Amino acid sequence: MHGISRRGLLKTGVAAGVLGLTGMPLRAQTRGGKLTAGLGGANTSDSWDGRTHSDIFMIASAHGSVFDCLTEVAADGSLKGELAESWEASADAKIWTFNLRRGVTFHNGKSFGADDVIESLQMHVAEGAKSAAQPIVAAISDMTKVNDYQIQFTLDSGNADFPYLMSDYHLLIFPAGQIEEGIAKGIGTGLYQVQSFDPGVRMVATRYPDHYKGDTAGFFDEIEYIAINDNTARMNALMTGQVDTINRIDFKTEALLKANPALRIQEVTGNQHYTFAMLTDNAPFNDVNVRRALKYGINRQEMVDKILLGHGKVGNDTPIGPANQFYHSEMEQLSYDPDKAKFYLKEAGLDSLSVDISASNAAFEGAVDAAQLFQSSASAGGIDLNVIQEPADGYWSNVWLKKNFSAVYWSGRATEDWMFSTAYESGVPWNDSQWGAEDSSRFQELLLMARAELDSDKRQAQYFEMQEILRDDGGVLIPMFANYVQAVNNRISSPDTVGNLWQMDNARMSERWSVA
């Protein structure tokens, strides 16, 4: 057995001790006080069931505060152990042995061990379960409990990124034999224990005593996350001191925040991207020429300028972004070209095209405006887009994956395989273009090859080709990558390096920040 490395080092529990459990150099932190955050992305249907989590309110509440995963992506993008202390792989990266942390307890007093991991992961492949992490767990052909603190995972095929996948925010660890109670009450092993939870409204939790992370993380005595989906209300709550921090600031009123000496703005470049997804199993999007016409009918730079106000960069219809190891930065950029849009319509046997496009600012801030810009630019290419402004409440349950053409937000993933297996592998629950195996056979072939490939040069060539396939043939338009832009009151201290995998310091501000 030997360790598989990525980005130079997959930090085991021992190696991570150099940086501390926060992933940052150890330094003096103020213990005590309260963090109050105003967060968008909340729904009345929210629960502690990690299989259902899709936006920042529950990701920060669960994965970032109340629960733990086996591994954790640090602020600098490296991987370190959370409930797993260390891991080893076979030479072909097909068999992984995880050594679990001892002395950990759930918030109800139950001791943590191998049974909790196995039962928690099996939730995602249970009959009828709907989980975005289903592809990750389904790729595990066998989970063997070696002893109470060691598990051996056998995969269907080698995967050098497997330890990264175990940090997925859906893969929360619940107490074995008490899964339903754990979901109902929010019983985890995280730094904070639930005191109250009103779905779509508020979550309050307090520091769990004698936590295994000790004094290296979780510096607040109490955290309160308030659901504020309306952008203006969220900005006002920060400006008036009702909350200490907010996500997704309104770029149009950014100057007001900058003018307030009590506040500071955090801007982080990551893999967050805003998209328009076409259901490729439905007409007219089952015709690749229609998809290509739309790709040339969108003015990407205009969207970056007018929607992001410069806080991002132009996308190229691939979800692999600047924070990924195998980002294809030299790939030829799709440009706005109405004549080419008309050409591809003719290739599809059409003189013009009229389709509905669904959008709501619940998808991403400015989604409706972005759809209207798309409507305007596409018209020059003979494409008539009818923008349907959908209600924010229920957008993800009633529109996404159900309407033929809709606005979608993605945070991206730390590794290429993680992103592709979550949203582009044939048949996975979150494949929001329903791009099937027949239509994307070469892409699906490369996905399996790259997953098991341990030679970095070969892997790069495979991932580059996959990005080119998505750009040319895929069913998702990705016009822009958006920086994470959030704001914090100066009474709250945060590390110099802020995570770029998810919003709000990888959704772990309750662990990594403190009272100034």
What is the four-CA torsion angle of 459, 327, 443, 331, rounded to 10 degrees? Answer: -110
CATH of domain 273-482: 3.10.105.10
CA 467 vs CA 278, 291, 368, 416: distances in Å = 17, 16, 27, 10
CATH 3.10.105.10, the chain: domain bounds: 273-482
- Residue 239 main-chain phi, psi, to 5 deg: -65, -35
**Average pLDDT per block of 10 residues along the chain, 516 residues long:** 38 33 50 96 94 95 98 94 97 96 98 98 93 94 98 95 96 98 98 97 97 95 96 95 95 90 95 97 96 98 96 97 93 98 98 97 93 98 98 89 96 93 92 85 94 91 98 97 96 95 96 97
DSSP state of 52: G
Q: Do 475 and 285 contact (CB within 8 A), yes or no?
A: yes
Q: Which residue has the tokens 């989980």?
A: 131
- 147 phi, psi to nearest 5 deg: -155, -175
Mean of the per-residue pLDDT values for the chain? 92
Assigned architecture for domain 13-226+484-515: 3-Layer(aba) Sandwich (3.40)
pLDDT digits (tens, 9 = 90+) for 28-75: 578 999 999 999 999 999 999 999 999 999 999 999 999 999 999 999
Query: Which tens digit of pLDDT belongs to each residue from 418-439?
Result: 999 999 999 898 999 998 777 7
Q: Are strands 492-493 and 514-515 parallel, antiparallel or unpaired?
A: antiparallel
The three-state DSSP-derived secondary structure of 359-415 is: ECCCCCCCHHHHHHHHHHHHHCCCEEEEEEECCCCCHHHHCCCCCCEEEEEECCCCC
| All CATH 3.40.190.10 domain ranges in the chain, comma separated | 13-226+484-515
How many other CB atoms are there within 10 angstroms of residue 40's CB atom?
A: 22
